[in-house]
Amino acid sequence: MAKKIDTHAHLGECCVFGLYATEEDILRRMDESGVDATIIQPYPGATDYHQRHDEIADLCARHPGRFFGLASVSPHVGKDKYQREIERCVKDLKFVALKLHTIGHAVNPLTEDGDLVFATAFQFGIPAMVHTGAGIPFSLPALCMPAANKYPDLKIILAHAGGGIVSAEAQVAASICKNLYLETSWCLGEDIRWMINTIGPDRIMMGADLPSNVPVEFAKYKALEIEPAVYDKVMGETAIDVFKLTW
């Protein structure tokens, strides 16, 4: 049976959005919806990203194969400090990707600090996930196109695929740049169908963002009544390929 992967989840507190996600809530929602594995990251408003990365690594160790870590650090901490932490996460903690949170970290993807994120992901051979949707103008999907062109071998995942706000722009950007991938949390169901039909299931992946949103995202995909082979791709196979997940 094909694995189901939630590609977008957070652990701990967020002082930016006033949110908190516990291990218990995450596991309960995974079990309820039949999620085999979750890719998990700190919130952008984590009070101590270093500690949160350690907690995520511990979670992965205690539940092998059920969780994979994704690093999230503001590049505004400075190039050396940023790259040291990403290197630690990739080499020591075995994380599978990193995050540029355009609104939570207040980063324009077109700036020097924005480029640092893409360059670091490319350097360590991991995908870069970028927040899109809420938080315009920094969160406009089109702002990732220059990086996609600069680093053509880098897989860039547009988190939320425009979040229903600018999902059309995310779809257009991905149609132009073949190394842009769409994670569809908070998108309308018909937006997801449109993305699958135009971009193809090999670059579309399910994500939930919040524990309470896991059953909602599953319900949206089930309601689309897409072909079983396509469903398996967008619900897990694409993520396994993009993040190079192994068990």
Confidence class for position 1, pLDDT limits 50, 70, 90: confident
Q: How many domains does the chain have?
A: 1
User: Rounded to the nearest 5°, which phi and psi values hold at 19?
Assistant: -120, 160
pLDDT (average), residues 83-99: 98
Q: For the segment 18-44, what is each residue's pLDDT rounded down to a tens digit?
A: 999 999 999 999 999 999 999 999 999
Tell me the pLDDT tens digit for each residue of 165-192.
999 999 999 999 999 999 999 999 999 9
Domain of residue 57, CATH code: 3.20.20.140
Q: Domain containing 206: what range?
A: 5-243
Express each pLDDT in 94-144 by its tens digit.
999 999 999 999 999 999 999 999 999 999 999 999 999 999 999 999 999
Distances from the Cα of 60 to the Cαs of 13, 98, 143, 243, in angstroms? 18, 16, 32, 15
Q: In whole angstroms, what is the distance from residue 160 CA to residue 208 CA?
A: 9
- Quote the pLDDT of residue 202: 98
Rounded distance between C-alpha atoms, residue 55 and residue 34, angstroms: 24
Question: What does the pLDDT read at residue 67?
Answer: 98
For the chain, the maximum distance between any two Cα atoms, rounded to a whole number of angstroms, is 48
E strand or H helix at 129: strand 128-131
Q: Rounded mean pLDDT of the chain?
A: 97
**100 and 117 Cβ atoms separated by less than 8 Å:** yes
Helix, strand or coil, per DSSP, at residue 146? helix
- Beta strands at 5-14 and 67-72: parallel, antiparallel or unpaired: unpaired
